[in-house]
Structure 1
Amino acid sequence: MGNVLVTGGSGYIGAWCTLALLEAGHSVRTTVRDLAREPHVRDMLRRGGAEPGDALRVVRADLQEDEGWREAVDGCDHVLHVASPTLTRVPRDDDEMVRPAVDGTLRVLRAARDAGVRRVVLTSAIGAIAYGHDRRHTPFTEQDWTNVDADIAPYQKSKTLAERAAWDFIGSEGDGLELATVNPTGVLGPVLGPDYSPSLGSIAGMLDGSVPASLPFATGYVDVRDVAALHLLAMTEPAAAGERFIATAGHSLWMREVAAVLRERLGDRAAKVPTREMPVLVARGLARVNPQVRNLRAIIGRNLDATAAKAERLLGWKARPIEDTIVETAESLLALPR
């Protein structure tokens, strides 16, 4: 088994990718922006059932700095570039999120190429595929690209332009470096700590009653453990080189359907989960004043269905039933210390 670098090891997907790599017998190196986060990374892995010891090395590297990346990739056979810049506030302009995403991706790719890495797997997103399009009645596939000239949120724009930049780099400067991308839909699954993604936050908001009505949109969802498994397949399978892979479990779900699963399977523990759906016009009005809903403005009233047929066909990947994942997500959130 080889050495693998995982960028962003303190993140939700990064931690689960690290767990999957360790279980498969790899030695893992993972990056954090601050080495004070190493105990947090190891605590997350313990909650996931691993005690990595010397099989894990935590190193400092920041996507917005050149320093540290040459050392981070040195001696690695593969790189899973999972890290992506995030902001705790609404950006003043799109470039606050776009530039760090693009520049950070190129830093990782250059370092990987110069170190003789075989393949990089980039964690992209459905946000690089399904946004800014006219209404459609067929699922999105890997042939689709988000229209960055449309009215979309900075996050989707950053994921699209970062992935575009990655493919352009491989084509013009890759010098034999292979690339594959994984484009997950909404990522759910067991949490490893109190820090979690917006998709998980939507489940938490339903459970605690802070979401009074389900927003009117539908999207795909996928278990984080299946996302990690797809990263490993994209890393090792010869057929994955040069390919994009959507990660989604079955068909899309409206938020009201997610709420219904919670109420049906959790009983009294889902007493605060909303029973009604917000009207589309009300949701669009809320998007003008609420920063969180504003990020979803482009998909209000839309169904962003997508298919994982390519990953299933080329790599033999299979996702677990998303209804079970929704329940496991809720149960892990309810078990967090209050």
Structure 2
Amino acid sequence: MNSTVLVTGGTGFIAQHCILALLEAGYRVRTTVRSMTREGEVRQQLNVGGAEPGERLSFVEADLVSDEGWNDAVAGCSYVLHGASPTPTGTQTSEDEWIRPAVDGNLRVLRAARDAGVQRVVLTSAFGAICAGHGDMDRPFDETDWSDLTADNIWPYQKSKTLSERAAWDFIAHEGKGLELTVVNPTAVLGPVLGADYAHSIRLIKNLLEGQPGSPRINSGFVDVRDVADLHVRAMTAPEANGERFLAIAGESLWLSDVAKVLKQRMGDAARNVDTRELPDAVIREGAVKDPTLRGAVPLLGRNLNATSAKAIRMLGWSPRPREEAIVATAESLIRLGLVEGLESTVE
């Protein structure tokens, strides 16, 4: 357990929980940040997660859009957990701004890992590389599925995840020279927030707690970030995980109005502003004409996006906590850290 593991993108939600899981398992961890000024912030958020890693955690400055720093980042590492990637911020103005950093970043990290003699890279991809562009399915999505980028209305985020994962597999096949690759494809990731910089999927819970007026008729799988981190660590060392994809979902998917109902049932007075109504599709379609942020929702209306984690459960012994627990843990952490407007922080 004296091995060093590189976790890319140390400011990220999944990355920080991966760091916590690795530290708990006894590994030394190195992580990348785009600016060393954020080291203190990352350490503080890990402290919220219960870790005081001291010298067992080190930092290297590296950016997906530059070669600089990556050789130092991977030097001496046995494994790499690579999750750094562009995520929805609302500032991207073209597909290229999504796709190029994702594809080039994956290749940059894989090249550096190969040249440094890293044994295996575990890549954090997404359900968006599996589910987009398909019509109604008569079965749950699984790891054999890939998003169909020839379909209309593919979200740039889904396109970036699909093309960057395919580029990673192509690299391993043609230039890997023995480097091993395993991919984790999470559905919407919930769970305990460690600070104000969190995954975009967390906003779903935040918006509901703050009184979002109803929910569109959208279906999604959910998984707790702690279980996503556990799956990464399992996939990192299991011999049978080499060359495999693993979809991460807890149980069956839920409609967003059902997520609101879970909050209403489990969170008591803290869920007083939660609206459990399901909005008619026509309302969303009309709103999307004026509001670009709603346009990505239109192709998802009424689609069942159920999926299965049977492969990870069977091959790696993975056992995710119930989706309801992930929903509640998200809400509790947002409230505790004072990140929900109109609700008092419970931090002393």
What range is the shorter-chain TM-score in?
over 0.9
Tell me the equivalent position of 2:55.
Answer: 54
Displacement over 4 Å in runs of 4+:
none
Give 1:295 deviation, angstroms. Answer: 2.7
Give 1:88 deviation, angstroms. Answer: 2.9
Tell me the equivalent position of 2:92.
Answer: 91
Comparing 92-101 with 219-228, which one deviates more in the overlay?
92-101
**CA–CA separation in structure 2 for the residues paired with 1:214 and 1:262:** 13
Matched, 1:82 2:83: yes
Tell me the equivalent position of 2:342.
Answer: none
Do the aligned partners of 1:153 and 1:296 also contact (CA within 8 Å) in 2? no
Tell me the equivalent position of 2:344.
Answer: none
**CA–CA separation in structure 2 for the residues paired with 1:226 and 1:108:** 24
Of the three residues 178, 183, 186, the one matched with 1:184 is 186
**CA–CA separation in structure 2 for the residues paired with 1:78 and 1:289:** 46
For residues 200-229 of structure 1, give each alpha carbon's deviation from its aligned partner in whole angstroms, at most 9, with x where no partner exists. 1010000011x2111111111000000000
Give 1:87 deviation, angstroms. Answer: 5.3
Give 1:269 deviation, angstroms. Answer: 1.2
Do the aligned partners of 1:249 and 1:320 also contact (CA within 8 Å) in 2? yes
Matched, 1:217 2:218: yes
* SS in structure 2 at match of 1:181: strand
Of the three residues 193, 205, 208, the one matched with 2:207 is 205
Tell me the equivalent position of 1:253.
Answer: 254
Do the aligned partners of 1:128 and 1:145 also contact (CA within 8 Å) in 2? yes
Q: Residues 87 and 257 (structure 1 numbering): CA distance in 2 closer, same or farther, change over 3 Å? A: closer
Matched ranges for 1:319-330 at <5 A: 319-330=320-331
Tell me the equivalent position of 1:156.
Answer: 158
Give 1:67 deviation, angstroms. Answer: 0.5
Tell me the equivalent position of 1:306.
Answer: 307
Give 1:98 deviation, angstroms. Answer: 0.3
* SS in structure 2 at match of 1:72: helix
Do the aligned partners of 2:258 and 2:276 also contact (CA within 8 Å) in 1? no
Tell me the equivalent position of 1:133.
Answer: 134
Give 1:90 deviation, angstroms. Answer: 4.5
> Which residue identity is paired with 2:142?
T
Do the aligned partners of 1:284 and 1:300 also contact (CA within 8 Å) in 2? no
Of the three residues 159, 170, 173, the one matched with 2:172 is 170
**CA–CA separation in structure 1 for the residues paired with 2:91 and 2:216:** 20
Give 1:313 deviation, angstroms. Answer: 0.6
Do the aligned partners of 1:69 and 1:111 also contact (CA within 8 Å) in 2? yes
**CA–CA separation in structure 1 for the residues paired with 2:291 and 2:233:** 38
**CA–CA separation in structure 2 for the residues paired with 1:230 and 1:141:** 16
* SS in structure 2 at match of 1:198: coil
**CA–CA separation in structure 1 for the residues paired with 2:288 and 2:259:** 21
C-alpha root-mean-square deviation of aligned residues, in Å? 1.1
What TM-score comes out, normalization by structure 1 length? Answer: 0.98
> Which residue identity is paired with 1:3?
T
> Which residue identity is paired with 1:35?
M
Tell me the equivalent position of 2:6.
Answer: 5
Alignment length, in residue pairs? Answer: 337
Do the aligned partners of 2:130 and 2:147 also contact (CA within 8 Å) in 1? yes
Identity of aligned residues (%): 60
Comparing 123-132 with 267-276, which one deviates more in the overlay?
267-276
Matched, 1:17 2:41: no
Q: Residues 24 and 164 (structure 1 numbering): CA distance in 2 closer, same or farther, change over 3 Å? A: same
* SS in structure 2 at match of 1:4: strand
**CA–CA separation in structure 1 for the residues paired with 2:88 and 2:318:** 32
Do the aligned partners of 2:10 and 2:31 also contact (CA within 8 Å) in 1? yes
Comparing 156-165 with 192-201, which one deviates more in the overlay?
192-201
> Which residue identity is paired with 2:44?
D
> Which residue identity is paired with 2:167?
A
**CA–CA separation in structure 1 for the residues paired with 2:208 and 2:59:** 35
Give 1:324 deviation, angstroms. Answer: 1.4
**CA–CA separation in structure 1 for the residues paired with 2:123 and 2:286:** 35
Matched, 1:196 2:191: no
What TM-score comes out, normalization by structure 2 length? Answer: 0.95
Unaligned stretches of 5+ in structure 2? 340-348
Give 1:26 deviation, angstroms. Answer: 0.3
Unaligned stretches of 5+ in structure 1? none
> Which residue identity is paired with 1:335?
R
Give 1:287 deviation, angstroms. Answer: 2.7
